[in-house]
Amino acid sequence: MAYFIQLAFAGLAQGCIYALVALGFTIIFKSSGVINFAQGEFLLVGAFIASVATFEWGLNFFLAVFIALLITVLIGVLFERFALRYMIGRPAFAIIMITIGLDILLRTGVVMTGKANERPPATPYGIASGVNYGGVHFGENALWTILVTLICCVALYIFFRYTRYGLAMRAAAIDQEAALAMGVNIRLVYALAWGIAAAVATIAGIFLAINVTTFDSTLGSIALFAFPAIILGGLDSIPGAVVGGVVIGLVQLLTQGYESHIANFVGIGFDTITPYLLMIIILLVRPYGLFGTRKVERV
Amino acid sequence: MSNATSKTTRSAVSGFPSTPLGLLQTARGRVLLLGGLIALCLVFLFGGDNWLLILNVVMIAAMATLSLNILSGYTGLISLGITFFMGIGAYTAAWLGGPHPFFPGDPVGLNLSIFIWLPAAGVVAALTGALVGPTALRLKGFYLAIVTLALVFIGLYLFKNARAITGGPQGRIFPTPSFGDLSFSSPTPVFGVLLTTNQWYFLLLTPLLALMALFVHNVMRSRAGRAFQAVRDNETGAAIIGVNLFQAKMSAFIFSSFLAGIAGALWASYPGGYAEPNTWNLILAIQFVAAMLVGGVASVWGSILGAAFVFGLPLALDTFSLIPQSTSNTGLTSGDLSAILYGLLIILFMLFEPTGVIGFIRRVTSLIQRFDERAKVKGGVKANASEPVELES
């Protein structure tokens, strides 16, 4: 039982990282209909800048995180302003591809600094510290990941529910033209969406980097597991993204923990495909996901 | 030219001739073809192993890019999963053409001829495509991209676990082409002439790529090809004019998988004839997407140009050490340099020239043609009245 709780706890923490990435996807998709394939590289760039700021420039952790947030948000907003804005009305294919271009650019940019190998993560606490309770190890990083994800969710909820700009974003998501006619500044909405997405991705990246103890330029590939998460939750549902992320994290870590017991049957690395198998099943039975609206583009 | 102009809706003017062997029809085409053939012969004879290696890799990459272009460029079905089908083709080739197991536990190999394993690689990949298609093609746009992406990871998992065929994570030997006594890996003199491994591959790949390119070019101007492009441009419209959507999508998927399988078998076989399951990863798939986008969406020549850019450039930079030594200390590799370049180019092309280099070339040639025609008019009887500049002078 302790083993199960241990796995479930790790899965929950991992799922929170997926949830943060998925939140970014969903917010951008809701506001502008764009699927951002470069989301994973915001994790990498964020974690990388935080690490460089801490270890090379000798900055305080929180200052380093602030700089990382600033830069990724800037990249996101500038990319939206100077590339995506001109892609409005173009086929989905072209829009997906341009974000793949950004993905390649960001990842290679990090590689080209020559500092991306065996990178130590920026962290305010010990990488391995934590508490033991009832035979289960609760890592400090995992606890913080879960807590900060919760805080992010609450903050976003308040933002969307009670602020002027949140209202503008919700209005734009429901009907862009009507929102425009009512005086909503759509450009600001796009910029906000990209800014928020980049910020949550950076937070996820910093926790993920601590979780894997040392990271390199492939850190962002973890964001690929956020795709099953958003499809499970429903592409246009923000609560769906969080639930989807947590479910995918749990499923993945539980498979990882138990697959050695049935190794003859499933072989090695089964946990790398369970999220995708789950996603394909969901796509076949319920293409709009658990919480999505039915009108989302599908055949 | 009239039916060539309807070839793509994105570029109104097409420089492509309209008959099957259309390259021979115009004077410019004849010169281009002759020049190209002479250049190929020169490279073959005097190019040396370095150039031949680059060219061969580019040609195999061009086949894969061509295959992707059928699906994504012509039919508009976004696929990030081409390496899955390449892997299927490669392992089919390895199973049929690979060497007999030497030790117990070696991956299987039936040591058959290239005339069996190369087509079989395509056929099995196409069958896999037919199997996966009905599920994948229920989805479109972003969903299809994600499902094909999932396919890459499912492929990696299968390839790592099917040890009997793939050799497990350590990889396995892939067959090198051999014709009778002649084996490409250790060439023997034929009619008294001794060619190197790279030269032999060159002799195999050039006609093969030319054949594929011509075939794709012609299919795209046939009834089936037009159906593909109609599906891409407007699915509802295509259905209304009588295109069977499912059939068109499935044929594109199967056709594309077939070529991907052949490209995969060659990709694993050259150079070195050894590959790990990790060869067929997502990064490689995205490189093919990049090649297609940079070269030209829905264009045969574009696929070849794009492959040359994405796969040839880093190889050329490495082979001829064109990157200054001082900067290479900071970790700048040819792969990174070209990745930055094509990352940037994808964004720029998507913004300004969605049809890639080939679209750019077409636009330039059509501009030149227009200037030519205008010059003729100017030199003719009277100036065009609609241009006030002419009246002034």
Which ipTM value was assigned to this complex? 0.86
Angle at B297 (CA atoms; ends B292, B298), nearest 5 degrees: 120
Tokens encoding A121: 């993560």
Read off the pLDDT of each residue in B346-363 and give the average, rounded to a whole number: 84
Check A221 against B282: CB less than 8 A apart.
yes
Find the residue in B nearest to A227 (Cα): B146
- From A48-62, A103-117, A284-298, B255-269, the region with the lowest mean pLDDT: A284-298
The distance of B41 to chain A (nearest Cα, Å) reads 36
- A202, pLDDT greater than 70: yes
Name the 3-class secondary structure at A131: strand
The distance of A137 to chain B (nearest Cα, Å) reads 30
> How does pLDDT run across A74-132, given as a tens digit for each residue?
999 999 888 888 887 777 778 888 898 899 899 988 988 878 788 888 888 877 777 88
User: Does any CB of chain A come closer than 8 Å to the CB of residue B388?
Assistant: no
If pLDDT is split at 50, 70 and 90, which confidence band does B17 have? very low
- A240, pLDDT greater than 70: yes
The distance of B151 to chain A (nearest Cα, Å) reads 8
Q: B11 pairs with which residues across the strands? A: none
Tokens encoding B340: 């930055």
pLDDT score at B7? 40
pLDDT over 90, % of chain B: 27
**A102 contacts A45 by C-beta, under 8 angstroms:** no
Read off the pLDDT of each residue in B124-150 and give the average, rounded to a whole number: 88
- A212, pLDDT greater than 60: yes
Q: What is the mean pLDDT of chain A?
A: 87
Angle at B204 (CA atoms; ends B276, B110), nearest 5 degrees: 50
> How does pLDDT run across B177-229, given as a tens digit for each residue?
877 777 777 767 777 777 778 888 888 898 899 999 999 989 998 999 999 99
If pLDDT is split at 50, 70 and 90, which confidence band does B250 have? very high
Cβ contacts (< 8 Å) between B290 and chain A: which residues?
100-101, 104
Give dist(CA B88, CA B125) in Å, integer.
6
The distance of B350 to chain A (nearest Cα, Å) reads 6
Q: Which residue has the tokens 């750019």?
A: B360
Check B147 against A221: CB less than 8 A apart.
no
> How does pLDDT run across B18-40, given as a tens digit for each residue?
444 555 667 777 787 788 888 88
User: Does any CB of chain A come closer than 8 Å to the CB of residue B285?
Assistant: no
- A296, pLDDT greater than 70: no
Checking phi first, is residue A58 left (phi over 0); if not, alpha (psi -120 to 50) or beta? left
- B4, pLDDT greater than 60: no
How distant, in Å, are the alpha carbons of A280, B11, B258, B367, B378 from that of B373?
56, 20, 44, 10, 9
Q: Phi first, then psi: what are they for B183, rounded to 5°? A: -115, 135
Angle at B343 (CA atoms; ends B337, B349), nearest 5 degrees: 130
Give dist(CA B55, CA B205) in Å, integer.
9
> How does pLDDT run across B55-90, given as a tens digit for each residue?
999 999 999 999 999 999 899 888 889 999 999 999
Find the residue in B nearest to A95 (Cα): B350
Read off the pLDDT of each residue in B256-285 and give the average, rounded to a whole number: 90
Residue B108 DSSP class: P
The distance of B264 to chain A (nearest Cα, Å) reads 22
Contacts of residue B388, defined as CB under 8 A and 6 or more positions apart, other chains included, come to none
Find the residue in A nearest to B143 (Cα): A298
Q: What is the mean pLDDT of chain B?
A: 81
pLDDT score at B326? 45
pLDDT score at A180? 87
Cβ contacts (< 8 Å) between A269 and chain B: which residues?
156-157, 160-161
The distance of B194 to chain A (nearest Cα, Å) reads 43
Cβ contacts (< 8 Å) between A265 and chain B: which residues?
none
Give dist(CA A240, CA A154) in Å, integer.
14
Check A108 against B340: CB less than 8 A apart.
yes
pLDDT score at A91? 75
- B322, pLDDT greater than 70: no
If pLDDT is split at 50, 70 and 90, which confidence band does A155 have? very high
pLDDT score at B169? 81
> How does pLDDT run across A13-68, given as a tens digit for each residue?
999 999 999 999 889 888 887 888 888 899 999 999 999 999 888 888 999 999 99
Amino acid at B390: E
- B328, pLDDT greater than 50: no
User: Does any CB of chain A come closer than 8 Å to the CB of residue B331?
Assistant: yes
Cβ contacts (< 8 Å) between B355 and chain A: which residues?
none
Find the residue in A nearest to B345 (Cα): A101
Cβ contacts (< 8 Å) between B344 and chain A: which residues?
101, 105
Sign of the dihedral through C-alpha A27, A33, A39, A42? negative
pLDDT score at B351? 86
Tokens encoding B242: 């009588």
- B304, pLDDT greater than 70: yes
Read off the pLDDT of each residue in B168-184 and give the average, rounded to a whole number: 79
Closest by Cα among A13, A72, A5, A10 to A245:
A13
What's the number of CA atoms in the CB half-sphere (13 Å) around residue A247? 21
Exposed / middle / buried, residue B348 (Cβ in 10 Å: 0-12, 13-18, 19+):
middle
Read off the pLDDT of each residue in B276-299 and give the average, rounded to a whole number: 88
pLDDT score at B190? 72
pLDDT score at B43? 79
Find the residue in B nearest to A85 (Cα): B351
If pLDDT is split at 50, 70 and 90, which confidence band does B331 have? low
